[in-house]
């Protein structure tokens, strides 16, 4: 396990702004609303915001305030991949390991607002919180070949929990 710090290279941020500035938007179908994706006006507004006002570095500061880690995980039949996760152990010796798995479209950040409450607990019940970025999501690497399905995602989570010392069943939120 190693601490992980989010630090997007400046070149990537410059490249994004250039791409946003050069974006060519399609015509919109009359009356499509959200039936065919985001309305064009919303996409243009978001592109303008990202191009001129969005402060990625401020977001990095917030993200790096969380307990971020990475660990290599080996799943049978696949090469080892680096998995990003939040790990917030409780100080309560009787805390229950909790594996918080995000859905799609989602991320490990879904647990961030309740991290302190889960860790501190209530009425004697507290949790050791582990929230991975699933393979190919967020800051986790992805498999390099096809066939990585639900069983492999489950094995990834199991391997992570065992590597962190949680040998018993964990409460699992989706």
Q: How many CA atoms lie within 13 A of 46 on its CB side?
A: 7
Q: Are residues 83 and 133 in the same domain?
A: yes
- Structure pTM? 0.84
**146 vs 53, 80, 169, CA distance in Å?**
39, 14, 29
Are residues 83 and 46 located together in one domain of the fold? no
CB contact at 8 A, 160 and 108:
no
Q: What is the span of the domain harbouring residue 141? A: 67-173
- Is 83 in the same domain as 137? yes
Query: Looking at the structure, do residues 108 and 54 belong to the same domain, yes or no?
Result: no
Q: Give me the helix-helix angle, 40-52 and 10-21, nearest 10°.
A: 140
Co-location of 71 and 151 in the same domain: yes
pLDDT in tens, the chain (174 residues): 789 999 999 999 999 999 999 999 998 888 888 888 899 999 999 999 999 999 999 999 999 999 999 999 999 999 999 999 999 999 998 899 999 999 878 899 999 999 999 999 888 899 999 999 999 999 999 999 999 999 999 999 999 999 999 986 656 554
Yes or no: say if 115 and 129 are a contact pair by the CB < 8 Å rule. Answer: yes
Same domain, 42 and 77: no
Same-domain pairing of 88 and 48? no
**Residues forming beta bridges with residue 96, ordered by sequence position:** 127
State the total domains in the chain: 2
Residues 169 and 103 placed together within one structural domain of the fold: yes
107/51 same-domain check: no
Residues 42 and 87 in one domain: no
What CATH number is attached to the domain comprising 88?
Answer: 3.40.50.1820
Tokens of 166: 């949680």
């Amino acid at each position: 396990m190693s601490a992980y710090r989010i630090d997007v290279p400046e070149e990537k941020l410059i490249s994004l702004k250039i791409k946003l500035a050069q974006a060519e938007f399609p015509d919109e179908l009359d009356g499509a609303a959200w039936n065919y994706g985001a309305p064009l006006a919303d996409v243009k507004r978001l592109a303008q915001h990202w191009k001129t006002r969005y402060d990625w570095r401020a977001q990095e500061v917030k993200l790096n305030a969380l307990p971020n880690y990475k660990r290599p995980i080996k799943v049978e039949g696949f090469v080892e991949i680096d998995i990003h996760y939040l790990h917030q152990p409780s100080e309560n010796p009787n805390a229950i390991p909790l594996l918080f798995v995000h859905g799609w479209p989602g991320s490990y950040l879904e647990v961030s607002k309740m991290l302190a409450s889960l860790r501190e607990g209530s009425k004697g019940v507290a949790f050791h919180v582990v929230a991975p970025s699933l393979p190919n999501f967020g800051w986790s690497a992805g498999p390099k070949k096809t066939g990585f399905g639900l069983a492999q995602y489950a094995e990834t989570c199991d391997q992570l929990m065992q590597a962190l010392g949680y040998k018993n069943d964990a409460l699992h939120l989706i």
